[in-house]
Amino acid sequence: MTTRHFIVATAGHVDHGKSALVKALTGTDPDRLPEEKKRQITIDLGFAALSLTAPNGDKIHAGIIDVPGHEDFVRNMIAGVGSIDLALFVVAADDGWMPQTEEHLQILNYLGARHAVIAVTKSDLGQVDAVTEQIRERLSGTPFADSPIVPTSVRTETGIDKLVNTLATQLARMELQRDIGKPRLFIDRAFTLRGIGTVVTGTLTGGSLHRGQQIVVYPTNVETRIRSIQSHGHELEVAEPGMRTAINLPDYRVDQIKRGDVMTLPTHGTPTSTLIVRLERMSRPNGDKTVAHPLKNGSCVYVHHGASRVAGRIRFSENGSLEPGKEKLARLKLTSPVFAFIGDRFVLRDSSERHTIAGGIVLDPDGDKVSLAGSVALDNVDSLVCATLARLGFARRENLLSKSPFSAEEISEALKHLEKNGEVIVGQNIAAAREFWRKLRAQAIGLIDETHNESPERAGIELGELRSALRIQ
């Protein structure tokens, strides 16, 4: 029987019982740092595993990421929820909806999360019905409006079994993460084990990784091989998308790696420092604050992508600002490169790191090469191929949409029927927009004719000379 793998992350206000709930569900205390024990709050990411049985008997393995709820550690929270399948949203019955509850909800929205289970914790201390009604009101108009709400109490063990069953039911209905042959492990921890060496952990998306495989870590651009793979203490030959994954890198020093680095294969392009994006701002009040002021052109921000956090500056397609409840095309200029794909989601926080101010989606991860893109269907490979070739003119087939959420086979099939429909021109190694190719061919014929007229004794024009004249690299 195949085991289905998913990633679940907690979310919610500080001291609402997220870590205690994870311990009650899994038997694992996710608070691992001495400072967390001393202060009795979660500071960094914690991890646990939950084995479930779906209603139809299928086995489900959920890797749980426990995130901090304190406003001082939102940056750590975002690093844990970038690639999740389901949010375990926690609201305490004695407090109800609180500022970080709201901010975490907005972060999940910006990152494209669409599935949640809401646990009302400390149900023995508060008015469960009133808090449940409040939660429904706050979730109205969000993707989580119809999410199941389960009252729980760790102290009395009320509702824990029901919560386990609800998680199993919700995960059983969900599709597995796709394997498109483009694995990315967003590294959230790196440490050294005696006798083993450097170990990195993260959530694997986009493809599988194999023991012995050659990989590269960005942005340091160092290549190495995978010595061994584990998931929650179990040795694996292959790690699949949707797994919490620990990988031993024998040729890497731990001081060469930091949170936010990305492990991938050395065949999918390189990190870049300029992204073309579509930004959006929610019109909801931010926690206990009023709706934020407009986001101005040229604003300095922190960009949270995957497990990384990078300073950057916003340049809109035109002067002006981004008002709450609106969206706008922009160019993000980053101080450090990130390994982003088309369709990746991210969160923006202000330069003081106190407020979540916007979110967005990557339209072009190589934004230094092109002008601001127009609106395109990022979930349709045909339209994305056409839009990319229209913008670039032509591209090598192996590089076309290499940083996209589509497999090489899907891109190849798209090229076949676009060529059949006369929308693109496909050569052995090159794909080009039809109009670009028509103009290029006319230019080449004109240059060859001109050269022959000026020097009829010449056998022809050198390929390098023709490329230079046509400005083709």
> According to the model, what pLDDT value does residue 428 have?
84
> According to the model, what pLDDT value does residue 292 have?
59
> According to the model, what pLDDT value does residue 407 have?
95
Kindly report, residue by residue over 254-269, the tens digit of the pLDDT.
889 999 999 999 988 8
> How much is the average pLDDT of 463-467?
75
> According to the model, what pLDDT value does residue 362 have?
95
> According to the model, what pLDDT value does residue 372 have?
66
Q: Which of 285-289, 350-354, 369-373, 394-398 has the lowest mean pLDDT?
A: 285-289
Q: CA 314, CA 295: separation in Å to the nearest integer? A: 9
> According to the model, what pLDDT value does residue 252 have?
85
Give a three-class secondary structure readout of the chain.
CCEEEEEEEEECCCCCCHHHHHHHHHCCCCCCCHHHHHHCCCCCCEEEEEEEECCCCCEEEEEEEECCCCHHHHHHHHHHCCCCCEEEEEEECCCCCCHHHHHHHHHHHHCCCCCEEEEEECCCCCCHHHHHHHHHHHHCCCCCCCCCEEECECCCCECHHHHHHHHHHHHHCCCCCCCCCCCEEEEEEEEEECCCEEEEEEEEECCCEECCCEEEEECCCEEEECCEEEECCEEECEECCCCEEEEEECCCCHHHCCCCCEEECCCCCCCEEEEEEEEECCCCCCCCCCCCCCEECCCEEEEEECCEEEEEEEEECCCCEECCCCEEEEEEEEEEEECCCCCCEEEEEECCCCCEEEEEEEEECCCCCCCCCCCCCCCCHHHHHHHHHHHHCEEECCCCCCCCCCCHHHHHHHHHHHHHCCCEEECCCEEEEHHHHHHHHHHHHHHHHHHHHHCCCCCCCCHHHHHHHHCCC
> According to the model, what pLDDT value does residue 361 have?
96
Give the residue, 319 or 285, on which the prediction is more confident.
319
> How much is the average pLDDT of 203-232?
94
Q: Check whether 349 has a pLDDT greater than 70.
A: yes
Q: Tokens 């999918």 identify what position?
A: 268
> How much is the average pLDDT of 231-246?
93
Kindly report, residue by residue over 287-313, the tens digit of the pLDDT.
444 445 678 999 999 999 999 999 999
> According to the model, what pLDDT value does residue 290 have?
44
> How much is the average pLDDT of 55-80?
89
Q: Mean pLDDT in the chain? A: 90
Burial 69-104 (b: 16+ CB within 10 A, else e): bbbebbebbbbbbbbbbbbbbbbbbebbbbebbbbb
> How much is the average pLDDT of 437-446?
85
| Interhelix angle 18-26/160-172, nearest 10 degrees | 80
Q: CA 257, CA 147: separation in Å to the nearest integer? A: 38
Q: What pLDDT band is residue 34 in, cutting at 50, 70 and 90?
A: confident
> According to the model, what pLDDT value does residue 370 have?
67
CA dihedral 277, 278, 284, 287 (to 10 degrees): 0
Kindly report, residue by residue over 447-460, the tens digit of the pLDDT.
888 878 888 777 77
> How much is the average pLDDT of 272-283?
93
Identify the structural domains of the chain with CATH numbers, from first to last.
3-172 (3.40.50.300), 184-264 (2.40.30.10), 272-364 (2.40.30.10), 376-473 (1.10.10.10)
Kindly report, residue by residue over 95-154, the tens digit of the pLDDT.
999 999 999 999 999 999 999 999 999 999 989 999 999 999 999 999 999 999 999 999
